[in-house]
Structure formats: C-alpha cells, structure tokens
Structure 1
Amino acid sequence: MALTWKTLTRFGSRYVFWIMFAISFLNYLDRYVLVGAANVIAKELNFQLDGIGFVTSAFLIVYTLGTIPLGLWADRSQRKSVVALCVGLWSVTTALTSLATNFLSLFIFRMILGIGEAGYFPAGTALMSDYFDREKRSRIMSWWSIAQLLGILGGYELGGVLAGLYFGSWRLAFLFTGLPGLVLAILAWFIREPGRNEADEKRLSVQPQDLLAGEESIAGAQKGSTLRASFSKMWSLLRIKTLVVLIIMQVFAYFVLGVSTTFLPTYLQQKDTFHLSSGTAGLYSGGVIVVAGIIGTLLGGYMADMLNRRHPGSRVLVCGVGFLVGAPAFAAAMLFHNIVSFTIFFVLSAILLTIYTGPCTAATQDVAPAALRASAVAISLLLAHLFGDAFSPSIVGILATALDPTHGLHFQAGMAGQDLSIAILLTCAPALFIAGLVGILGARWMRDDVQAAERADLLLRASEA
C-alpha cells in the first residue's frame, strides 16, 4: 500500500493537474453557494441589495489584501504546503457559515473565508507553472479554469435549490460544500513539490553563459529574504510593462465579473424582470455562465497559443479584443427583459468576457521570472481585486438601492429588477470598453518582457552555479 501511495503521489503533472482542478472546483463552489442563495438569505436575515454587495465585498477585500503576504510566503516555501493549509482553512470556514444567525456573523465568516482562498491561487498558479512549460501553459491554464466555471455552476445550483426548500434550508449548502475540502487538503499536502522553473528548464537548452546583460535588477530581487527585499520584488514586478497592462485590464474586467456573478441570480428572481424561482435562477445562472464560459475559456486559450507563434503579444491582444467586443453585447443583455433576447446577448457577452482567462494567466507567468511567479500572481490579484471587484458589488448594490424611490421596498416585494438593471448598465458597459482598449494598446510590450524574464532566469542560475 505504501508503494502504491508513493507511486500515486509521484505520478507527475497529470496527477497534480487533477488535484488542482478539483481544488479549483471546490474553491468556486464554496464561493458561489452564497450567491446562489443570496436572495433568500437576505430576506431571512433581513438585509437589502446593498447588504448582498457588502457581504460579497467582505470576502473579496480580505481575499485581495491577503494575496501579497501569502504570495510572498509561497515564493519562499513549498507551494503545495501553502495550498493544502489554505484549502483546509476555507473548508472549515465554509462549514461554519451554516451557523450564521444575522448579517454580522455572515459578514465575519465570509471575511475568514477570504484568508483561506487568498493563499491558494498564487501558490497554485506558480506550482502549475513549474509542471507545464510556456509552450502549452495557456492551454493548461484554460483547462484549469474550467474547474472554476463548474464550481460556479455547482455553487449557484446547490445554493439556489437548497435555499428554496424551506426556511433556513440554505444552511445545508454550506455544510455540503465545506467538508469535502479537507480530503483535498490532505491530497495536496502529499504531492511532489517541483523545482523552480522546472518545466521551462527542461524545454530550454540555453547555457548560463549565453546571458544578455541588463536583467540584474530583476534577478537580484529574487534572492532577498527580508521584508525590504520583498517590497523590492514587488517593485521589480511593477516595472514589467506587460504585467501592468494585464493588471489594469483586469481591474475593469473584474469589476464587471464581480457584479455579474453576485447579482445575476437575484436579478433573475425579480418579478419585474423574469420572476424565476430560487432553484431555477441558480440553475439558469450556472448553466449560462458555465456553457458560455467553457466556450470562451477554451477558445481564448487555443487562439492565444495559435496566434502566439506569429504575434508575441497575442495573449494580451486576445483579451483586449474579447472585452471590447463584449461591451455592446453586455449592454444589450441588460436592456432586454425578454428571456430569449436576454439569454442570447448574455451568453455572447459571457463568451467574450471569459476569453481572457487562460491567456491572461499564462501571460502573467510568461513575463515574470520563475522565482517571482507566485508574487506576480499575488500582486496582480491584489491590485485587480482591490480596484476591481472588491468594492464593485457594494457600489452597484448601493446604487441600485438609491435608485429605488421606496427605499428598499422594491427588493422586499421582489420588484428590484429595473433598479439593478440600470445600476449594472451604468457601471459595467463602460468598464468593459476601457478594459478592451487597454489590452489592445498594451499588447506590443510582451515580446521584450518575455525575453527579459528568460534572461533573468538564466542570470539567476549562473549566479547560483
């Protein structure tokens, strides 16, 4: 049995991929089970649309602020251990959310959940990047992102269906989604920790003496172990132009995605829009997002890898084009209150919005030196979430509540669809347009930044030889 277990944990990249795929699925299942049940929970615990936004922002703000210290921790220690510990923490917290009795207790549990999930993604992305080289990284990241979409589907559906059973039945959803994570935490603890830049070094046959000068500042920043050196790492990453472009683009994209995923089930349940039941709204929301998201995510990954052979900035360019074309499609969806027309335009906009997922993640890893990849993800998440979706649900929730002339009675009566529609349209369509322009104009710097990252890796290896 010991031999079997040892063999299993050394199975290589495929085994690690499926462990990380399952964790990513559970990550988004835990996150979106609340959103699926939010309309029911808000009425049972007596808060409004702005309260839904505040609870969502509580998670996102802590999640965002936690990415930097936990990302730095991942760059200095075993990434697989960071993943395992964070998965265990968020799983326990999700289960405890079933005990929430009022808005404040729900708010606190979601804040703690943010700590656990903040450490998983930077460490997990860096871990995956050392199992899969640059040639196929965009496709792998796209396939990995499919787990997020399946998790959203499961969270929406489970939360919506269970919340609609009887008073307080939404609590079951948090128990069912929280406990399985402990098993995955144990499996993650025992996977093999790869060497830094292992996959790319196997692919490349360049010798350290072939280095070009000029990358000392980035490579030098990889060695420090003090707090000052950590800030030096972050500053060196922010001098990478493509990374800055990706962050700015994600700020506006995350704003839209945060609003859409938070309020879609609630929007569908309003009597002045589509008047769906809690369970049907959860199933519809998850189904549309998953089907469209899978198409968009895989399309983006394969397009970016194919075009990357001809245009070195294609991964950034594909993201920008998707956002720019998605802006009018998203606006059209919010203007239609006919379920068929809404579905057509919302599916189209969801495909275009999720094209960015794989290429953006891969581009972030491509332009960052190997020893700073977790930190690159961490700083990207910090800034993109902090200025993007951390506050966007609260902003739209407050705006929708302010647009209600009855001061909350629209939501209590299930008639807040028009208020939500206007608030979403005024904020999200312009954000997508800006994200598209930033991506298209910023794609030109990627070639130089990838070459700089490769030279920094070689320089570091030469200094350690």
Structure 2
Amino acid sequence: MPPTLAETESDGEEDRVETRNFDISMRMGTRYVAVAILFTVNLLNYMDRYTIAGVLQQVQAFYKIGNTEAGYLQAIFIVGYMLFSPVFGVLGDRFNRKYLMVGGIFFWSCITLASSFVPSESFWLLVLLRGLVGVGEASYSTIAPTIISDMFTQSQRSMALMAFYFAIPVGAGLGYIVGAEVAKAAHHWYWALRVTPGLGVICCLLILFVLKEPPRGMAEHATLTHSTGLRSILTDLNSLVRNKSFMLNTFGFVCVAFVTGALALFAPSFVYDGYKALDLHPGSATISLDFGFVTCGAGVIGILCGGALAYVVKKKHAGGDALVCALGLSSSSIFLFFAIFSLTYTVYVTWIFIFVGMTLVCMNWSLSADILLYTVVPTRRSTAEAFMNFVGHLLGDAGSPYLLGFLSDHLKAEYKLTSFVSMQYSLYTCCVVAMLGGCLYIICSFYIPSDRAKADAIAHGAEEERVSSQLTNNYEGLPEADDAPLL
C-alpha cells in the first residue's frame, strides 16, 4: 500500500531531524577531513588511469603493437568506466555511498595488480583487464562529488570542488612520473602497475572508518532527501534530458574528454618522436617525467585561475561558470594548435604552448562539476554524474585515442608519412573539438539561471510541474538559494 499523508509527513520530519543533527555533528572540521580523503582517492584514481600512458612505448615494444592497438588500452578502460557509471549512479542515489565506493576501489586495485602479470603473448587479456579497471573506477567517480555537494553549498562548494579536482591533473601527472620512474628503476614497465593497488586498500580503510556520509541535500537544508526508489529512474532521466543547462554542460564535457583523452595517451610519445625528428634523444622516460610535471603544474594553475575568474564573472552574469569554461576551452584550441605545429621546428617553444594549452583546458574541471551540482536536485545528482560520465566518455575519450591512433596509422601507411608527421596531423582534430566545446558552453550560460532556480525550488519541497510553470513568469514565488555559511 502507498504511504498515507501522515506517514509521508512523519518521514519528512524524521529526515529533517536526521539532516539537522548530522549537520551539527560535522561542524568541527569533519567535512574537511572528508574532502581530504576523497581528494586522495581521486588522486589515486587518476594516477592509475595514466600510468600506462607514462610507459606506453615500453608497453608497445613488449607486446609488439602499433598506435591503433595502443589506443585500445585507453579506449577499453573508458568503455568499462562509461558503461558502469549509470549503474553506480542509480545505486548512489538510493543506497549507502561509502560501501559502493569501497567495493569499487578494492575491485579496481585487485584488477590493476593482476594486469601487471599479463605475458607478452596475451595482449588482449591486458585490454580486458584495463576495461575491468574502468568498471571499478566508475563506482567512485560518479558518487564522490555528490558527497561533497551534500556537505557544502554555494562558494564553499566551489572551493571544495576545486580542491577535489586538483587531483585530476596532479594525479595524471603523477601517473606519468611514477610510471616512468618506477619502470626505469625496476627495469620493466609492469612494476609501474604495482604501485597503486596497495594505496587503494589504504583508501578503502579510510573511507570505511573515517569518512562520514552526509544525508542527501544536507548543506542546502533540503526537504527532498530520499529518492522514490528504482521505479523513479525513468523520471530522473526524463528530468535530466529536459534540463538544458545540464545537457549543454554534458556535451561541453564531451569535448573536454575528447581532447584530454587523446592528449593523455599520445602526447608524450608524440613529443618523443619530435625530439628524434630534431635529432635529439632525451629518452622516453625523461619525456614522460617532463610531461608529468607540466600536467601537474598546468592543472593546479588552471583550476585556480578558473575558480578565481568564475568568482569575478558570476558577479555580473549568473552563467559565469559556463562562460569561463567557454573561454578556457576555446582559447586552448589555439595554443594546442601552435604546440602541435611548432614541434616541427623547436621543442622549447612547444613545451610553453603545451603548458598554456593544458592550463586553459584544466580551467573547466571544477566549474563543469559545479554547474551539474547546482542545476540538479540532490536526489538525482549521482544519476546526473553517471549520465554525464556515460555520454561524455562515449562521445569523448572512449573513442578519441582509438580514432587518433587509427588515423595516424592510416596516414602513415597511405601517404608514407613518418610516425611523427602522421600523429601531428591526427592531433589537429583536438583543436577543432576544443573550439566546438567552447561554443556549447557559451549557449549553456544562458540557461543556467532558470535551471538553477528550478533545482533550488524542488529541493525545498516545491512540485516540479508547478516550478516549471512559474519559471515562465519571471520565477515568482520561487525560494532563493541558501547562501549562509555552514561553518
């Protein structure tokens, strides 16, 4: 039998009491510890993801594969990540998020360790295992940002997300660095894959025994704190598809994922080939190390600059986050073009262009996540993260490594080009996609005010249909977002 009105009101009051009590218990710095733990796991996540790229040439030599097959390693990882993101997104809106994350982290740690024992004649087993690593990582990436969202609101949330997303470039850079240096010290590339599994187990223990999971919508004092169950999945998806800000932000993320996925896998080997074309021979490990430091520095500066610039722009335009994303992504296409082009003549100028281009791309990470969180109601955020990950990776970095690898091999065979020139032509594709992403974020900025107002109203108990009709009348009667400091 469906619950009576009295039962529904009683449940709602219990939820409000639980949320208020939990909020009070987290005022003494607990939430900052939670962000630190989630940052650490995200750092490990991206270290693991880019370790293969740091030793790619050794992997290619070990398995005797070309760029097309090498592209499979990144593509299959993203496919596994992409396909299981919706599963964990739906579960994350309905069940205990700590246990879901722990299960996923432990699974990916075990699979990463197993993949370091694949013999040279079993390349396709390595491909399969990399796909399973993506399955494990999907459990974490779709859920962790929603926990941060439930602990902070408004400017505090933006700062917490900036801290969380520092892990992407820093982790990616460490993946290159640790992968190259460990492989060099141990005299074999597969030792690079044996670093993160032990750290993953430590992260599982931290989540289980230290992290406190907040009620959904706690920071916003939301009255809508529980999903309506598995049968509400179609309702959630229908609402997300009709959310213009969310959909445009998602397709902008597709372009970011396309560019970063292609560059992450092929940029170090492309730069190495450029060195050889100029009769310079620093060694592939040195290139990976340099690329790792560039990635770390560009990421930290990019995220900081993106957050600071968005803070200023939002004072004049409610869609400031999207406008800064547009500026960063479209500007990066210019610097990436000159980075790819200039390597024919000089390596020193190329490194400058790579650094600036990657800095501009990294301006998007925390801002794009923040747009999702404040334009979607609390009980749909894990599903929204999963949807964004699925679409973003399906159309972005699930295909871009394979596409560029295939295009490079085709140009090399068809026109008798060198590996360097064929990859150079292929990488120009990233510049076009980055410019397209900038245009999508500009359009997104115009829809953010209304979609954010709608999400705030629904989170505080308004009916979705009534809110939609009120939005056509200049948002009369809609509650304002709560911007009071929580600490």
User: TM-score over 0.5 for the alignment?
Assistant: yes
Q: Distance in 2 between matches of 1:8 and 1:141?
A: 18
* Residue number in structure 2 paired with 1:50: 68
Q: Where do 1:175-324 residues align within 5 Å?
A: 175-190=194-209, 191-201=211-221, 223-226=227-230, 228-270=231-273, 271-272=276-277, 275-324=281-330
| Residues 11, 321 of structure 1: alpha-carbon distance in 2 compared, 3 angstrom cutoff | closer
Against the structure 1 CA distance between its residues 380 and 8, is the aligned structure 2 distance closer, same or farther, given a 3 Å change threshold? closer
- Alignment partner of 1:160 is 2:168: no
- Shifted more, 13-22 versus 452-461: the winner is 452-461
* Closer, same or farther: CA 369–34 of 1 in aligned 2, 3 Å: same
Structure-2 residue corresponding to 1:40: 58
Contact 1:268 1:276 in 2 (8 A): no
1:108 positional shift: 1.1
For residues 193-236 of structure 1, the C-alpha deviation after alignment (integer angstroms, 9 at most, x for no partner) is: 1011111229xxxxx8xxxxxxxxxx79x74323x421221121
Q: Which residue of 2 aligns with 1:365?
A: 373
Pick from 453, 457, 465 the counterpart of residue 451 of structure 1.
453
Letter of the structure 2 residue corresponding to residue 65 of structure 1: L
- What is the CA-CA distance between 1:41 and the residue it aligns to? 0.7
CA distance in 2, matches of 1:36, 1:369: 39
Is the Cα–Cα contact under 8 Å of residues 139 and 305 in structure 1 kept in the other structure?
Answer: no
Tell me the CA shift for residue 179 of structure 1.
1.5
Name the TM-score, length of structure 1 as normaliser. Answer: 0.88
Question: Aligned in 2, Cα 1:25/1:99: closer, same or farther, shift over 3 Å?
Answer: same
> Are 1:90 and 2:94 an aligned pair?
no
> Quick one: which of 411, 417, 422 aligns to 1:419?
422
Q: Is the 8 A contact 1:161 1:278 kept in 2?
A: no
Structure 1 SS opposite 2:116: helix
Which deviations, in whole Å up to 9, do the C-alpha atoms of 1:386-419 show, x marking residues without a partner? 0111111000000011111389x98xxxx62221
State yes or no: 1:397 paired with 2:405: yes
CA deviation profile, 1:133-157 (whole Å, cap 9, x unmatched): 1222222211211122221121101
Q: Which residue of 1 aligns with 2:353?
A: 345
Distance 1:354 1:296 in 2: 5
C-alpha distance in 1, partners of 2:136/2:96?
A: 16
TM-score where L is the length of structure 2: 0.84
Distance 1:298 1:370 in 2: 26
* Matched AA of 1:293: G
Following the alignment from structure 1 to structure 2, what is the Cα–Cα distance between the partners of residues 403 and 104? Answer: 25
Answer whether contact 1:333 1:346 (CA < 8 A) is retained: yes
Following superposition, the deviation at residue 305 of structure 1 comes to: 2.7
Q: Distance in 1 between matches of 2:407 and 2:326?
A: 28
Query: Could you tell me how far apart the structure 1 residues matched to 2:102 and 2:218 are?
Result: 21
The reply on whether 1:80 has 2:82 as its aligned counterpart is: no
**Equivalent residue, structure 1, for 2:118:** 100
Structure 1: tracts of 5 or more residues without a match: 1-6, 203-207, 209-218
- Cα–Cα, structure 1 residues 406 and 239, in superposed 2: closer, same or farther, change >3 Å? closer
Residue 334, structure 1, aligned to residue 340, structure 2: yes
Matched, 1:149 2:157: no
Summarize the Cα distance change of 1:166–1:122 in structure 2 as closer, same or farther, 3 Å threshold: closer
Aligned partner of 2:442 in structure 1 is: 440
State how far apart, in whole Å, the 1-side matches of 2:456 and 2:129 are: 42
- Give the Å deviation of 1:96: 1.2
Calculate percent identity across the aligned residue pairs.
25
One of 30, 36, 44 as aligned partner of 2:48: 30
In 2, the alpha carbon distance for the partners of 1:405 and 1:308 equals: 50
Are 1:9 and 1:15, in contact at CA under 8 Å, matched by a contact in 2? no
* Alpha-carbon shift at residue 269 of structure 1 (Å): 2.2
The question of whether the paired residues in 1 share the 8 Å contact of 2:94 and 2:227 is answered with: no
Partner of 2:469: none
User: Are the equivalent residues in 1 in contact too, given 2:306–2:324 (CA < 8 A)?
Assistant: yes
Q: CA 1:398 to 1:275, structure 2 compared with 1: closer, same or farther past 3 Å?
A: farther
Is 1:136–2:139 an aligned residue pair? no
Tell me which amino acid in the other structure corresponds to 2:277.
Answer: D
Compute the displacement of 1:279 (Å).
1.7
Distance 2:81 2:220 in 1: 30
Asked if the contact 1:396–1:424 (Cα under 8 Å) also holds between the matched residues in 2, the reply is: yes
Q: Distance in 1 between matches of 2:433 and 2:281?
A: 28
Query: SS in structure 1 opposite 2:166?
Result: helix
Q: Report how far residue 367 of structure 1 moved.
A: 0.1
Instruction: Output one character per residue of 1:421-447: Cα deviation in whole Å (capped at 9) or x when no partner.
Output: 11111x111101111111112201101
1:8 Cα deviation after fit: 11
Whether the aligned pair in 2 keeps the contact of 1:163 and 1:278 (CA below 8 Å) is: no
Matched, 1:388 2:396: yes
Q: For residues 325 and 28 of structure 1, what CA distance do their matches in structure 2 show?
A: 25
- Counterpart in 1 of 2:21? none
Quote the offset at 1:10 in angstroms. 8.3
Contact 2:245 2:448 (8 Å CA) reproduced: yes
Determine helix, strand or coil for the equivalent of 1:99: coil
User: In 1, distance between residues paired with 2:330 and 2:26?
Assistant: 45
Q: Secondary structure at the match of 1:200?
A: coil
Q: CA deviation at 1:40?
A: 0.7
Q: Distance in 2 between matches of 1:323 and 1:26?
A: 26
**Structure 1 counterpart of 2:7:** none
Taking the aligned partners of 1:428 and 1:200, their CA distance within structure 2 comes to 39
